[in-house]
Homo-oligomer: A and B are copies of this chain.
Amino acid sequence: MQILVINAGSSSVKAAVIDPETGKRSLEMNAERLLDAPLIEFSDGTKIELESKGPERAIAVCLEALKDKLKDTPIAGVGHRVVHGGEDFDRAARIDEEVEAKIEALEKLAPLHNPINLRGIRAARELFADVSHFAVFDTAFHQSMPRRAKTYALPKDLMAEHGIRRYGFHGTSHKYVAAEAARYLGAQPKDLRIITCHLGNGCSVAAIEFGRSVETSMGMTPLEGLVMGTRSGDLDPGIIPYLHEQTGLPPEEIDELLNRQSGLKGLTGVGNDMRTILDESTKGNADCQLAVQVFTHRLRKYIGAYAAIMAGVDAIVFTGGIGENSPIIRHRASQRLSYLGAIINEDKNATTRLSETAPVVDFSMQHSRVKLLAVKTDEQLAIARECGKLIEKADAVNTLPTIPV
């Protein structure tokens, strides 16, 4: 079975054709700079430069080029990454008019993401009209959080009126790496309490208790929680009105500042890339050294907090560009956790290299009660698998049961 997975962003579209069983990709597409000078690259080496036709058309144009490439590939279904699923979606959904309308209605909560995801869905449904399309939501996995974790301490009517609660994001990745970790440990997610640390450009932590997300660090928006590439993460809420009063910046510009000028970038002034920051900090740049400390201190607090929520933890998982590739960050986050039963194997941590064939590495000591794991995440594959399952289920329903002999 081949699933086409589409992730439509404001300035880029990523797509891949994946076999959900094997994880093999037969084609990948990467389209960037959609807003000014669109450039489409395919994994077969083709590059297409386009004239800008405005954001509305750009996605459709990319998908047309993709369709052209897929003339001879039978696609079983199309999976779309959708950022915000609100209250409505606690799992992937087959897209129909009703689902489209619901995604549209959630624009209020995700004005930067849902409208663009929807644009991708609409363009793709027109072009690939004879297969089923599925929406896979970043928020869905966290719908299982108990109310005490979802609820902010704000006036209740205000929260109800405006849909203010913790939704959480990166759910597809958290769920995927927790399942990979369980498989590696010869167990089921339902047997384990896992803390998953997704550390990429965006960063979040989740507490996954016996297979269900019970807490996560991103909140109503993807701004809360860990220090990220350009996002502040947690902040005294009193700072925003204070900044407004001191600088005269309107709230929407402060929001922009917190989302795009803060985090590692704001702390260091050298950009949002953790590799650069680690390099500079090794060379003695004090701002970069502090940024790394603030980053890992915050992460440790979440690890500790989520251990308390689950009354202990069985495995701590590091994933995303930073979690998969940085022994220094993993070391700083997981040293001195022996009070939890987690004892790092420094040699293994330093030599860990994840790959297709080794997507999970255990870098804890053999006698460590809590396993420390680096796990390669793969959100595209996770989306393809969700779609594959939904297609199989539908097929199962539509097939006459075999008659037992």
Write the residues of chain A forming the contact surface with B, with a CB cutoff of 8 angstroms.
Answer: 108, 147-149, 151-156, 158, 162, 164, 166, 215, 218-224, 227-228, 231-247, 251-252, 254-255, 257-259, 261-264, 266-269, 287, 290-291, 293-298, 300-309, 311-313, 336-341
Contact = CB atoms under 8 A, between A and B. Distances in A.
A305 B294 contact: no
Contacts of A311: 336-339
A269 to B, nearest CB: 7
Contacts of A297: 148-149, 309
Contact of A155 (B153, B162, B228, B257): B257
A257 to B, nearest CB: 7
Given A156-B266, A241-B255, A312-B339, 12 more contacts: A153-B263, A153-B295, A154-B257, A158-B257, A220-B239, A221-B239, A224-B236, A237-B258, A238-B259, A240-B254, A245-B251, A301-B308
Given A153-B233, A337-B311, A251 B240 contact: yes
B252 A223 contact: no
7 contacts: A151-B294, A154-B232, A154-B239, A164-B243, A241-B252, A245-B252, A308-B340
B304 A306 contact: yes
A221 B245 contact: no
B300 A309 contact: yes
A290 B221 contact: no
Contacts of A252: 241, 244-245
B237 A240 contact: yes
B293 A148 contact: yes
B339 A147 contact: no
A164 B234 contact: no
A383 to B, nearest CB: 25
Contact of A309 (B148, B266, B287, B301): B301
Nearest to A258: B237
Contacts of A158: 243, 257, 266
B241 A293 contact: no
Given A156-B267, A242-B220, A340-B339, A290 B151 contact: yes
A71 to B, nearest CB: 43
A269 B153 CA distance: 12
A270 to B, nearest CB: 11
